[in-house]
Amino acid sequence: MLKAAPDALRVTKRSLDATLEIASYDTAMELEERGQIQMVRAAPTKR
């Protein structure tokens, strides 16, 4: 986790907090996946 981007960890924490109110496991996983995809798309490219 120390190597992960701080923003990615922040998104994961928010997703975990939100899943406390979601009854469906599939919906919770979809929410987390969306957050991770956003982080991948927002990551700066290394050149």
Give the pLDDT mean for 6-27.
85
d(CA 24, CA 8) in angstroms, rounded, equals 23
Residue 27 lies in a domain: yes
Mean pLDDT across the chain: 80
Residue 1 is predicted with a pLDDT of 61
**For residue range 22-44, what is the model confidence (pLDDT) as tens digits?**
888 898 888 888 888 887 787 66
Residue 34 lies in a domain: yes
DSSP string of 3-45, one letter each residue: TS-HHHHHHHHHHHHHHTT---HHHHHHHHHHHHHHHHHHSPP
Q: Please count the structural domains in the chain.
A: 1
- Using pLDDT thresholds of 50, 70 and 90, give the confidence band for residue 47: very low
Residue 1 lies in a domain: no
